[in-house]
Structure 1
């Protein structure tokens, strides 16, 4: 894309803002090369990278890139068999370390199932070298200083140097303390030529012996190395020389290790620079509250609430800008300083940003096209040296655009046809627009000529637009109005500023009828637009109220559903409590019977039936309890002593002989007395109501609701035994003489349990396996 357009659109200022977030040298080099791309796949890849960067900034703060130097000099020296110093090797170590860190970082993102479009693949381009990374980090600190851990010899030498320093300092203390201080100009130990010395007054030169290394400018002080420490200083000097030689050996060894890997390390540095740039693009997008631009497949630009990124966010006015769908050319008219040029630059700059892979300062779902070129003719490019007038300069630029434009180009022209006679300027402007339109490019142009407003109105694929102007405040609002040409405000403004009325009226009378009609049409359109906006605002207000009512209704509906769920949950809790209580009572009854059986006490039939009744009474029939009609009918049939009733659990007729305090009734069933709740009793017609008195009796009849066969297959042991016990009782009361218990083969646990139970039940006369044709040992026939 041509640099001239990018310079006019101030794309470099956008890059400068991004540069504030860069930390690597290579990152700055990549930023300088950042340009809008004209291939859709490349543009989409760059946008995807920024989207990934935004997601990481949002979730993790940033991509962890270190401050890294450019490695080209190091690479060139190594390839020429040269060796590197500590600082240069430390820079390489930082690249290797950052490579390992990023590998681990993206592995963590992958483990967290964070979806990324491009950066996982970019991370795969990094080549990790753990052994070399460890060796350099162990040998050098970040400044390039060789560490003791670099080699055992270096560690030994430095420890010996430290001991010698301690010995020398201790030996020198005798010269800076006590009576010897009177021979010194100052009681300190200092260094001269890397040797420890003391400042001695010149007249006491022979007092300490040793070597004179320096003297003061006045000659009054000599810096003497006392004879007592000369030997120690010589040893220290030898060790320091050994230390330097060992450091050089280590650096040379590290250089040899890095040499064969330098190409991969340089590539890593380039990939890390890409991460740095992506990081910076994401942080800049966050700063401007940018959104992801969507690439239009139909080559449409549809920017929603677009803002110029270089204008103060508190002052900038957002505009909807759309071009390329129903129209290819937009002509913007309106007063000077109304925002026409800024609107045009906003379109061009946002389009350039999107094609460079940047997020844009517009509302989400904004669409951009991919242009091969953006041509710009904005501003006065008059050149004294070239002797070009304003008009000539613009024409020269537009001629160049006409020769290079294609159907994939965006053309932005400010003040088309300006700088010459108005009539001629309008004519040449129309001709230029017609010529450019033949290439099917997209065009946005600004003008003051009324002829172009008519041209836009009558020409296919061309639309008028204007910048709104407030007649009351005499100030532009900077809002773009698509579909409405801008009206001339000269007379209106002049009158409001105090121009004599007769001057204004004379000026209006001199206007041609066509121009006057055009202004009247524009004024009418503007009034209709304002009326439409007012009604639209009222509708939006009403819609907001309706939305609020709907939200309130939905909240109440959710609250009601939650309340219902809470009630159901509470009912379940209460039901579980009742079940738990009933289970406890049943367990006590069963334990009591088992205790009697264990002690060898015979359990009588009435005891068994009584226990069974107690177990039956633990059951709550929810359907009966909750059915209001049945409860109402029951209340009509009030029970009292002497009533004949039907015991519902057993289907037998008896007589109430007593009512207990706990709302239980004792019923005489033949020779048995049993207790029942009122819900388990149903009042029947008394025999006393008949003409002939009949003796009260209980007749054993077969219940039509009880099968003569009990199937225990698939049951758990405890469940099967409880069901068997209940079934035998019901079979006895139903008058059955023989029943069949089907227990299957299985593991034999249920079969053994059935056998044990039948052996202990005194109401069982005999039992045995069924014939082979009726189930064999999988079923037991019981005689009661």
Structure 2
């Protein structure tokens, strides 16, 4: 799927919303790099995953999700031989715990209820041994436990014994009345890893010990009593041994992580897939979206809503393409919703092919297009010194020769930006070419010639965005089968155009040789509306007749059932008599 079309139809904003719902750094990256697929099997598989996750979120109390982290970086670090930090080990353990939970979540009855999700979870390999090893080494705060190794346990036990002897030695000094005048405070503290007491500076030569530090004022010296020097030396040696043993423990644990990198990376990828699927499901639920039914070449959107327009402002639009016609020409007033209509069709098609549900009613159908081409809005390129029309044509010729029956073409205001006569002729010619090539297309236009072409050509259909002539405002409703007027004068009146100017414009319009064509269009539109009303009336009558027929059939069946029952009862009574 071409990158430009994703930008034109604002698919990047859908990716942003999806990323907000993704639970981890890795799944957010997946969301921001999401691209639609043109392979029907891939699309259907993705939609099935989204469907199962949506059902699970609404039905189940728990989910298979949990705490995960961006572990590929720490795995690369382990592969290079660098020892991991305590935080990295705990992040890894928490992630592995979640992977294990995902693997077991779909066991039992869920195996049959969520087959697509179970297929992913079954590929995850629980790494029980590595998880246990990490939790055996670290506590919840990331500190190495005494039980991490037998050697570490012995070293720490010996350290506590030495510390106890040091404290007793210092207590004798603090409780010695002869020493009390020398001390600034009766406390034990540490400097450079050695236990010291605060001695007044004027008594430094009367107190037997080694100076390790001085206070900022210089009035206090932190001295290690000579009586505890040997004990402090023993403590320093044990601290060094403890540090080395911890280093060895972390090295061994890092080596174990290194041995399982391939399995862990695969588990991480599968877990990210699962998180990403649930992000898609959450997006579907937040949009009140549905799974579009797959169809071969038929687009049928029922009350579809543009997902980037707020709920209180969006107007649902229904449109079809590919049943009795392959090209839809949308006409009507400016700012009436023509562009939104084709953007909705394009964006929802992209979402569907990206495995996302679409904000529309149940029963909506979409094919899997091989390409979606669109020219929407002013794509003028100032850098290339192109006018709006030149830019439009440059884009058009870039894909027009390639467009075919399995693609979707969206053209906004085809032929505009140049002489109206030439623009109308070009618009008709391009439309006829697309019709000849069998390429499905939705085209917006103001040209009466395009309305006429749609009326006269099989496979091309008119549609228009409704305009309320009483309120002089668009309703944004799309009506298929009828061409619409631009309502330029009504819009001018609504925005306060002076009557003198507006009156002269109406006069010039009436003198135009194309004025009769507008009248013909309006008569055709009225006839089409009348036919649609008559069709609705006939459909309603047929529906009522069908209901009456079903009711009569039910009454007949009930009559025969009662008749059989009465006869059976009469026979039983006769036999009894």
Query: Which category describes the TM-score, using the shorter chain as reference length?
Result: 0.7 to 0.9
In structure 2, the partner of 1:349 is: 347
Give the superposition deviation at 1:293: 1.6
In structure 2, the partner of 1:307 is: 305
Deviations 1:718-760 (A, max 9, x none): xxxxxxxxxxxxxxxxxxxxxxxxxxxxxxxxxxxxxxxxxxx
Q: Secondary structure at the match of 1:444?
A: strand
* Contiguous gaps of at least 5 residues in structure 1: 551-556, 558-622, 631-784
* Partner Cα distance (1:101, 1:279) in 2: 15
| Counterpart pick for 1:121 among 112, 119, 143 | 119
In structure 1, the partner of 2:6 is: 6
Q: What is the TM-score when the length of structure 2 is the normalising length? A: 0.85
Alpha carbons 1:26, 1:269 under 8 Å: kept: no
Structure number with bigger Rg: 1
Give the superposition deviation at 1:506: 2.1
Alpha carbons 1:24, 1:66 under 8 Å: kept: no
Alpha carbons 2:293, 2:366 under 8 Å: kept: yes
Give the superposition deviation at 1:528: 4.0
* Partner Cα distance (1:309, 1:176) in 2: 76
* Partner Cα distance (2:161, 2:413) in 1: 83
Give the superposition deviation at 1:105: 1.2
Comparing 192-201 and 178-187, the one that deviates more: 178-187
Q: Secondary structure at the match of 1:290?
A: coil
* Contiguous gaps of at least 5 residues in structure 2: 552-557, 559-568
In structure 1, the partner of 2:425 is: 427
Give the superposition deviation at 1:523: 6.0
In structure 2, the partner of 1:326 is: 324
Is residue 2:285 matched to residue 1:274? no
Pair 1:170–1:325, CA change in 2 (3 A): farther
Give the superposition deviation at 1:18: 1.2
Pair 1:402–1:260, CA change in 2 (3 A): same
Q: Secondary structure at the match of 2:23?
A: coil
Is residue 2:520 matched to residue 1:521? no
Give the superposition deviation at 1:59: 2.4
Deviations 1:539-598 (A, max 9, x none): 99x99xx99xx9xxxxxx9xxxxxxxxxxxxxxxxxxxxxxxxxxxxxxxxxxxxxxxxx
Q: Residues 103-182 of structure 1: matches in 2 within 5 Å?
A: 103-107=103-107, 110-111=108-109, 114-141=112-139, 144-162=142-160, 164-165=162-163, 168=166
* Partner Cα distance (1:393, 1:12) in 2: 23
* Partner Cα distance (1:8, 1:295) in 2: 24
Give the superposition deviation at 1:156: 3.3
In structure 2, the partner of 1:55 is: 55
Is residue 2:485 matched to residue 1:483? no
* Partner Cα distance (2:168, 2:471) in 1: 88
* Partner Cα distance (2:511, 2:174) in 1: 106
Give the superposition deviation at 1:349: 0.9
RMSD: 3.6
Flag the structure with more relative contact order, 1 or 2, with Cα contacts below 8 A and sequence separation at least 6.
2
Alpha carbons 1:294, 1:368 under 8 Å: kept: yes
Alpha carbons 1:193, 1:213 under 8 Å: kept: yes
Deviations 1:288-325 (A, max 9, x none): 111112111x2211111111111111221111121111
Alpha carbons 2:448, 2:518 under 8 Å: kept: no
Q: Residues 300-449 of structure 1: matches in 2 within 5 Å?
A: 300-449=298-447
In structure 2, the partner of 1:238 is: 237
Q: Secondary structure at the match of 1:100?
A: helix
Pair 1:181–1:407, CA change in 2 (3 A): farther
In structure 1, the partner of 2:291 is: 292
In structure 1, the partner of 2:246 is: 247
Deviations 1:203-254 (A, max 9, x none): 2334543222222333233333344544443333223222221212212222
In structure 2, the partner of 1:213 is: 212
Q: Residues 740-779 of structure 1: matches in 2 within 5 Å?
A: none
Alpha carbons 1:208, 1:227 under 8 Å: kept: no
Q: What is the TM-score when the length of structure 1 is the normalising length? A: 0.64
* Partner Cα distance (2:248, 2:313) in 1: 63
* Partner Cα distance (2:141, 2:430) in 1: 63
Alpha carbons 1:18, 1:281 under 8 Å: kept: yes
